[in-house]
Chains A and B, each alone.
Chain A
Amino acid sequence: MSWIIFLILFPLAPAVLLLLFRSVSVQKWIVLVASALICVAAIGLAVTCTGAQPKYFSITSSVVNKLVIAGDIILALAFLFVCRRLSLKWYWIPLLVIVQYGAVVFYDLSGRVPAVTQPLFVDNLSVIMALIIGIVGCLITVYTVGYMKHYHEEHPDVPDRRGSFLAAIFLFFFAMYGIIFSNSITWIYFFWEITTLCSFIMISYPRTEEAWHNAFRALWMLLLGGLAFSMAILYASDSCGTVDFRHLLQMNKSAVLLPILLICFAGMNKAAQFPFAKWLLGAMVAPTPSSALLHSSTMVKAGVYICLRCSPILENTASGAVVALIGGLSFLAGSAIAISQRDGKKVLAYSTIGNLGLIILCAGVGSHWALWAAVLLIIFHALAKALMFLAVGTVEQQTGSRDIEDMHGLISRMPLLTITMLVGIAGMFLAPFGMLISKWAVLEAMAIRSPIYPPIVIFGGSLMLFFWAKWMGKLIAVVGPAPQRERGIGIEWTALFGLAVLTVLTCALYPFVGYYLIQPLYGQDPILSQGSICMVGIMLGLMVLLPLGFFIHWKNLVHVEPYLSGANVSDPHQFMGSLGNARQWSFRNYYMGKFFSEEKLFRGSLVGSIALMVLMFVMEKL
């Protein structure tokens, strides 16, 4: 219990301190110490609280509940405060705030919301989430310290408010820990909306026209989720007579399906599933660490987490199948659109939407094997995606571009950074790394359920392979001797190397994660069988050992210039043109804009997903 309270409340301390102290070096130490403490506490929680049975904790004092109501009111005022910048045309954004908070606070104050006797709990899923937030989140925070220094050197026009940016990160941790340890949906709602506010603060950080625009778009989209959540609270209080999440999940399916669907709606909204994908794409305008944070350990993971919690109710219902289809659609569309993207961060964003779609698909199916796969996906995706974002952020700072075509031959210019990126990409799609173990688990889980889901997983996976592979190919092209450009990367290495090692290590340790953390939750799974572990072990061993051979200097190699149909000139990057003059040759990747055009696919997916959302609520009656 003490670990939980510490994890929830402690991040507030550095958040406040960071706002108070303006000195950069003081801020750095606050971040380092606080991150280390959160990490240790998360591991401490994992060591002490892991077990087959969830533990529930009662809080007798009614003060805490009053604090949450007060918090709700303060949040509502904060939302209204940020809306002051909006023109009247956007009147409905403050309206969204007023409606949802008005209703929830009214219900709370008039005593219609039943009390929850055990508002805090912990089980293995919370522990896994706590570890991800603690370890991945803190590595990102440490990276942020170094990143923001360069960021403000490069963007002198952006007012230096890095203290508030770092404070927002810690506020995020506070909210995330609140979400994963709360058993009362009113509490979850309170923390839920804090994450919305934090993401608003982060996205609007550059204070440009575009940043404001994207921040407000994210705000209204996420507030829609909040609205659904508040409706779930009202419905649960009136019709189900409880807002205790555990009791809700134990009730008769037909009685609680509607509030659970509303919560899932909020979850999918936060997880940037279609039709809400746009907010996550817009969030890229912010400094890179915020993308890393939103995409990997916080925010979107809160969305899939809540859907996973709801999955026992969704299992074997028509609405659950529709939830799975929405996830499947996002998986396919996200992966397909990523093929046509050149902007590294945009590829990452679409792949996040895709991978989260896969997790939602598992949550909608809800069988034990599917949930197994979903948890593995959450873990591995958090690590690899955080690594990718941080690496792309550093590349952007070093070269001034995040266009994948500009990363041609990066291995020759920045070998170390490229290797961390290669680990990240391999972690995203190559066997036997994490994401592929997960995809394997997904396929094994889906093959028995229905003939619709496996093709979705298979096609999405193949699309993913294509865009990751061509990115990888760009990075490893050896362009010959080139000036070394890895300069001025300081504390960022800690995060980059840390995440790269963790990406490989968790893959090696997945049997332990599965055995101690996931098996008590969801029971046996075929991917924990001895044969499977053995195969993954052999492949992982090869994957780690074989690349060492690149360092061997092979004898008796005869060096030649690349084949250019005999039109070579002395410079290998040029060829003899038909007029007898040397011309530069260049090679670009395939983007297949005709097949996978963003515009068309995005519009189609919007229409499809909105139709599915409507269908989801209609099906509730069946």
Chain B
Amino acid sequence: MNAFFWIAGYILLAPVLGGLINGCDRIITARMQSRVGPPVLQPFYDVFKLMEKDNLTVNRFHGYYLFIFLAFMLVSGAMFFGGQDLLMVIFAFIVADMFLVLGAYSTNSPYSSIGAERELLQMLAAEPMMLLSAVGFYMVTGSFHVSEIVACDKSLILYLPGVFAGFCYVLTIKLRKSPFDLSTSHHAHQELVKGITTEFAGPSLALIEIEHWYETILLLGMIYLFFAFNPIVAVLVTLFIYFLEILIDNANARVKWELMLKSAWLATIILGGGNLLVLYFILHG
């Protein structure tokens, strides 16, 4: 029953919370750039306005991919907050992302396609670390189930500092923040125009925004797991990590994909793999 409330809570409240976090993000970003910034509810105003606009589309199929994208995002998040198998959560998350990529490919527009290709690169860079984190959780707690990882009384961060650092590294990629905002970004104009979202306008773009809120909450939820032994600390750390992401976003210029892929994989192998190796010898040595 508890799981049911969590799932319902995620589906209903995640967009609200995600939107608020997004609003704060924009204010903090503005302050870092010595601007005043929009009101905290601006993301919601944006989405409502987008909803009222014409649904411009290149062909009649590509908008629909976003529905599937959102559906799998919800499934992924619901499984996570329902305490299910973390590996399956990540796989569903990948499927969701896949459908965004497929939608972009389906438009047959050059900017969109190159954004899709770069999004695939981002997935290639970030996924190994996410899955490796799940393996790390398993090695400490003996289960892949989120419910059991949360219930574990060990402080996971002490066992998995490297994995945590690696996860934070790829979090920037997953949130598509600078310097890893290769596939698309919130900035108005850039060499890719809007990359993967180029051909999505009006209500379709609103859908992508809402999905991004769900996504943010799910990713922050994964950060929470590292500190689940103490909920207050966990929430504070999670918010702090998000603040760091904003700081990094504002302090860095976009890098080339080669650097992203190499550095992310290095971080995965050295921080993640190294951590697991040491942990294995501590636990079984």
Residues of A within 8 A of B (CB): 409, 430-432, 436, 440, 443-444, 447-448, 450-452, 454-455, 458-459, 461-463, 465-466, 469-470, 472-474, 476-480, 531-532, 535-536, 538-539, 542, 546-547, 549-550, 552-554, 556-565, 585, 587, 589-590, 595
Residues of B within 8 A of A (CB): 54-64, 67-68, 71-72, 75, 79, 84-85, 87-88, 91-92, 94-95, 98, 101-102, 104-114, 116-117, 120-121, 123-124, 127-128, 131-132, 134-135, 138-139, 144-145, 193, 198-199, 258, 261, 265, 268-269, 272-273, 276-277, 279-280
**B124–A531 CB distance below 8 A:** no
Most buried by A among B101, B124, B272: B124
Shortest Cβ gap from A25 to chain B (Å): 42
Name 20 interchain pairs, CB-CB below 8 A, sorted by A.
Answer: A430-B95, A431-B91, A451-B280, A454-B135, A462-B123, A465-B127, A469-B123, A476-B105, A477-B107, A478-B107, A531-B145, A542-B71, A542-B75, A546-B67, A552-B64, A554-B64, A556-B54, A558-B55, A563-B193, A590-B117
Residue of B nearest to A409 (CB): B108
> Which residues of B lie under 8 Å from residue A553 when comparing CB positions?
60
Residue of A nearest to B93 (CB): A431
Shortest Cβ gap from A436 to chain B (Å): 6
**B102–A472 CB distance below 8 A:** yes
Q: Assuming A447-B135, A462-B131, A479-B108, what are 6 further A-B pairs, CB within 8 angstroms?
A: A478-B58, A478-B61, A560-B57, A560-B58, A563-B112, A587-B113
> Which residues of B lie under 8 Å from residue A561 when comparing CB positions?
58
> Which residues of A lie under 8 Å from residue B269 when comparing CB positions?
455
> Which residues of B lie under 8 Å from residue A465 when comparing CB positions?
94, 120, 123-124, 127
**B85–A477 CB distance below 8 A:** no
A595 to B134, CA, bound (A): 27
**B277–A451 CB distance below 8 A:** yes
- Residue in contact with B58 in the complex, picked from A454, A472, A536, A559, CB distance below 8 Å: A559
A553 to B193, CA, bound (A): 29
Shortest Cβ gap from A346 to chain B (Å): 20
**With A557-B60, A562-B199 as given contacts, are A462 and B72 in contact (CB-CB < 8 Å)?**
no
- Residue in contact with B261 in the complex, picked from A473, A542, A589, A595, CB distance below 8 Å: A595
**With A462-B127, A589-B117 as given contacts, are A557 and B88 in contact (CB-CB < 8 Å)?**
no
Residue of A nearest to B274 (CB): A451
**B132–A558 CB distance below 8 A:** no
> Which residues of A lie under 8 Å from residue B98 when comparing CB positions?
430, 469
**With A443-B135, A450-B280 as given contacts, are A546 and B71 in contact (CB-CB < 8 Å)?**
yes
> Which residues of A lie under 8 Å from residue B198 when comparing CB positions?
563
**A535–B85 CB distance below 8 A:** yes
Shortest Cβ gap from B51 to chain A (Å): 12
Shortest Cβ gap from B149 to chain A (Å): 13
- Residue in contact with A546 in the complex, picked from B68, B113, B121, CB distance below 8 Å: B68
A466 to B127, CA, bound (A): 11
- Residue in contact with B113 in the complex, picked from A461, A473, A552, A560, CB distance below 8 Å: A473
**A474–B199 CB distance below 8 A:** no
> Which residues of B lie under 8 Å from residue A549 when comparing CB positions?
64, 67-68
- Residue in contact with A431 in the complex, picked from B71, B88, B139, CB distance below 8 Å: B88
**B132–A458 CB distance below 8 A:** yes
**A474–B88 CB distance below 8 A:** no
- Residue in contact with B64 in the complex, picked from A440, A550, A562, CB distance below 8 Å: A550
Residue of B nearest to A408 (CB): B108
A478 to B273, CA, bound (A): 41
Residue of A nearest to B275 (CB): A451
**B107–A466 CB distance below 8 A:** no
**B124–A558 CB distance below 8 A:** no
- Residue in contact with A466 in the complex, picked from B71, B75, B124, CB distance below 8 Å: B124
Shortest Cβ gap from B90 to chain A (Å): 9
**With A532-B85, A542-B71, A542-B75 as given contacts, are A564 and B110 in contact (CB-CB < 8 Å)?**
yes
Closest 3 CB pairs of A and B: A562-B109, A473-B105, A431-B91
A542 to B95, CA, bound (A): 11
A547 to B69, CA, bound (A): 11
**A466–B199 CB distance below 8 A:** no
> Which residues of B lie under 8 Å from residue A436 when comparing CB positions?
91
**B79–A454 CB distance below 8 A:** no
A275 to B124, CA, bound (A): 26
**With A430-B98, A542-B72 as given contacts, are A470 and B120 in contact (CB-CB < 8 Å)?**
yes
> Which residues of B lie under 8 Å from residue A432 when comparing CB positions?
91
**With A547-B68, A554-B64 as given contacts, are A480 and B75 in contact (CB-CB < 8 Å)?**
no
- Residue in contact with B106 in the complex, picked from A477, A560, A563, CB distance below 8 Å: A477
A532 to B143, CA, bound (A): 13
- Residue in contact with A563 in the complex, picked from B63, B75, B111, CB distance below 8 Å: B111
> Which residues of A lie under 8 Å from residue B94 when comparing CB positions?
431, 465
Residue of A nearest to B55 (CB): A557
Residue of A nearest to B123 (CB): A465
**With A469-B98, A550-B64 as given contacts, are A431 and B108 in contact (CB-CB < 8 Å)?**
no
**With A455-B128, A466-B123, A479-B108 as given contacts, are A535 and B58 in contact (CB-CB < 8 Å)?**
no
Shortest Cβ gap from A587 to chain B (Å): 5
Shortest Cβ gap from A596 to chain B (Å): 11
**A462–B279 CB distance below 8 A:** no
Shortest Cβ gap from B95 to chain A (Å): 5
Shortest Cβ gap from A185 to chain B (Å): 36
- Residue in contact with B101 in the complex, picked from A450, A454, A469, A562, CB distance below 8 Å: A469
Shortest Cβ gap from B70 to chain A (Å): 10
A549 to B101, CA, bound (A): 18
> Which residues of B lie under 8 Å from residue A538 when comparing CB positions?
75
**A473–B116 CB distance below 8 A:** yes
**A558–B56 CB distance below 8 A:** yes
> Which residues of B lie under 8 Å from residue A452 when comparing CB positions?
277
**B110–A557 CB distance below 8 A:** no
Residue of B nearest to A534 (CB): B84
**With A431-B92, A465-B94, A542-B71 as given contacts, are A557 and B57 in contact (CB-CB < 8 Å)?**
yes
- Residue in contact with A451 in the complex, picked from B72, B258, B276, CB distance below 8 Å: B276
**B120–A466 CB distance below 8 A:** yes
Most buried by B among A463, A531, A549, A561: A531
